[in-house]
Chain A
Amino acid sequence: MAYRWKNTLTADAVTPYSAFLNRRQLMAGAAAGAIAGALPVSARAQEALEPNTWEEITTYNNYYEFGTGKEDPARNAHRLTIDPWTVRIDGLVDKPGDYSFADILSQMTIEERIYRFRCVEAWSMVIPWNGFELADLLDWVGVQSSAKYVAFETALRPDEMPGVASPVLDWPYVEGLRLDEAMHPLTMMATGIYGRDIPKQNGAPMRLVVPWKYGFKSIKSIVRITLTEDEPPASWNIANPREYGFYSNVNPNVDHPRWSQATERRIGGGLFAKRHPTLMFNGYEDEVAPLYDGMDLTKFI
């Protein structure tokens, strides 16, 4: 069932590693104001849709288990042991069990997906993920007909995660999706970025990516997947239900109490980067709007 979705963000294949390093240097120059005016307009327009650089994607992370600062995860996540890695898959499935990450990988088709990534904090990136469709994994373990939701859990390792010493959230981090959301072709398990193994600060070895929802739904370093009949708990929803709903679909028309969601700051534009309008369902409206037919999205936040 892989390849159910075709990249729409850029026509070309993803920039090779060497090329984006070059672009990185180009952008550093542009940030200093040296050559920004010299770039042809078309080049700049195209730039806006191209993926963020490896450095941007891997040094600006929200992964509170490694600290609440954006650069804390890049500094601290090296302590996480990801080999061996076991994922417990249980609940309403035909083949429950403890699966090694290697076993899972051997069954899945890895493909590349260039997705917009929109944080609830009103910043955004474009990320070239590598990974597999969550639906393929769920089909492999066999979802029972009574299952309606999928629950996810992040590893909790106090010895390796300095951030969990502080009760920022009720650890471990948990998240959930409705089954139809989880089975949607856009929903993937990312295991890589730019064709390389996904860095620990980005959720190694395996993290969820749900591109039409705010970033905190895309739970990292998953150790457990449980199929349930009832709506599973979600960490930010527990911490503050008024601010973080279970659905948390990107929606420019529904404000978060702390941030207007109408516009976003694209990471990588430098100090004077202009805000851009946020797109309904983060630009994936055609694909996912039918999932929410008949639902009042101002209520089901």
Chain B
Amino acid sequence: MVHALNTGLRHVPAWALYLMAPVPVVWIYYLGLTGQLGVDPAKVIEHQLGIWSLWLLIAGLAVTPLRRFAGVNLLKFRRAIGVTAFFYVLAHLLTWLVLDVQFQNVWADIVKRWYITVGMAAFVLMVPLAVTSNNRSIRKIGAGAWRRLHRLVYPIALLAALHFLLLVKGFQWEPIIYAAVIAGLLAMRVRWDALWTRQRASHRENPARSGAGLGGELSQSSRY
């Protein structure tokens, strides 16, 4: 089954994803413009785009564990997923800026309101990743440095989960589930066995590996 899936996926070009990427955002705006999103369409659009951003971040983070634990290879789509995630975050941010707060007290909101601070930090961290999501940048920066840079997606995903957790009122399950999924996907990257062995032996099992601790363990499994 996995083999058939991988074979099938080989025939799907990565650009197909870029082609499909604008469909949801266009559809959401179409529904809003035609009065099909209820009586407060701006809020619904803002929320939906935020949820899509989380889904895309989760999809991007799922690529490595899927390959490692299920043998499903989606690696060639990961860049398209990541770039699409960036554009959804941008659309989410612009919707907030233009339709919701309408450029009023934007800076005050960013520094005073924790959930906005955190969301904005996640967006800012995504910018260098989006800008360097091309082969030329990998050549220019070097594959190792490029990989280290793109490990920023881990704090980005955690900030995105925190953004959702902070903004809901009262105790609600939905953001907790998103946070748990993201934390789980990050935890699957840690080589727990290696960490365990190393802790017991208290020496590096692989001296060639760059970076120590959790970062080193994460880098090991996110290599492609």
CB of A273 to closest CB in B, whole Å: 7
With A31-B35, A123-B40, A271-B32 as given contacts, are A167 and B171 in contact (CB-CB < 8 Å)?
Answer: yes
Which residues of chain B come closer than 8 Å to A258, judged between CB atoms?
A: 113, 115, 167
Which residues of chain A come closer than 8 Å to B102, judged between CB atoms?
A: 274-275
**Are A59 and B170 closer than 8 Å at their CB atoms?**
no
Stretch at the interface among A64-72, A82-90, A130-138, A188-196: A64-72
CB of A60 to closest CB in B, whole Å: 5
**Are B39 and A267 closer than 8 Å at their CB atoms?**
yes
Q: A265 near B: Cβ within 8 Å?
A: yes
Among A55, A255, A259, point to the contact of B39 (Cβ < 8 A): A55
- Considering the chains assembled together, what is the distance between the CA atoms of A33 and B34 in angstroms? 9
Q: B13 near A: Cβ within 8 Å?
A: no
Which residues of chain B come closer than 8 Å to A70, judged between CB atoms?
A: 38, 40, 43
**Are A260 and B32 closer than 8 Å at their CB atoms?**
no
With A60-B40, A258-B115, A270-B41 as given contacts, are A32 and B104 in contact (CB-CB < 8 Å)?
Answer: no
- Considering the chains assembled together, what is the distance between the CA atoms of A258 and B38 in angstroms? 23
**Are A262 and B104 closer than 8 Å at their CB atoms?**
yes
- Considering the chains assembled together, what is the distance between the CA atoms of A255 and B113 in angstroms? 10
- Considering the chains assembled together, what is the distance between the CA atoms of A169 and B172 in angstroms? 9
Nearest-neighbor residue (CB-CB) of A166 within chain B: B173
**Are B108 and A260 closer than 8 Å at their CB atoms?**
yes
CB of B41 to closest CB in A, whole Å: 5
Q: A56 near B: Cβ within 8 Å?
A: yes
Q: A28 near B: Cβ within 8 Å?
A: yes
Nearest-neighbor residue (CB-CB) of B45 within chain A: A271
Category for how many chain A residues contact B = 35 or more
Q: A237 near B: Cβ within 8 Å?
A: no
**Are B39 and A60 closer than 8 Å at their CB atoms?**
yes
With A268-B39, A271-B33 as given contacts, are A262 and B170 in contact (CB-CB < 8 Å)?
Answer: no
- Considering the chains assembled together, what is the distance between the CA atoms of A28 and B108 in angstroms? 35
Q: Which residues of B contact A (CB under 8 A)?
A: 32-35, 38-43, 45, 99-102, 104-105, 108-109, 112-115, 167-173
Q: Which residues of A contact B (CB under 8 A)?
A: 28, 31-33, 52, 55-56, 59-60, 64, 68, 70-71, 123, 166-169, 239, 255, 257-260, 262-263, 265, 267-268, 270-275
Besides the known contacts A59-B38, A260-B104, A262-B104, 7 further A-B residue pairs in the complex with CB atoms under 8 A apart? A60-B40, A70-B38, A257-B113, A259-B113, A271-B32, A273-B42, A275-B104
22 contacts between A and B (CB under 8 A): A32-B35, A60-B38, A60-B40, A64-B170, A68-B168, A68-B170, A166-B172, A168-B169, A168-B170, A168-B172, A239-B170, A239-B171, A258-B115, A258-B167, A260-B105, A262-B104, A265-B100, A268-B39, A271-B32, A274-B102, A275-B101, A275-B102
